[in-house]
Amino acid sequence: LPQKYLDHPLTGNYAGHRECHITPDWLLIYKIEKDILILSLTRTGTHSDLF
């Protein structure tokens, strides 16, 4: 995937979460809790489903 689709932090309603594109229109929104290896998966879906 192009650089713009790689893992990045989100803002607004999803502040504190991160987003990673599985494919150009399939996103994974997640949050890393503290510095512990706990990954809370928040949502997955197309861009139009999530935003």
Give the per-residue pLDDT at 11: 93
pTM: 0.70
Give the per-residue pLDDT at 37: 59
Number of C-beta neighbours around residue 19 at 10 A: 20
Residues marked as catalytic: 47
Rounded mean pLDDT of 2-14? 87
Rounded mean pLDDT of 21-49? 81
- Domains in the chain, CATH or no CATH each: 3-50 (3.30.2310.20)
From 7, 15, 23, 19, select the one nearest 50 (Cα to Cα).
19
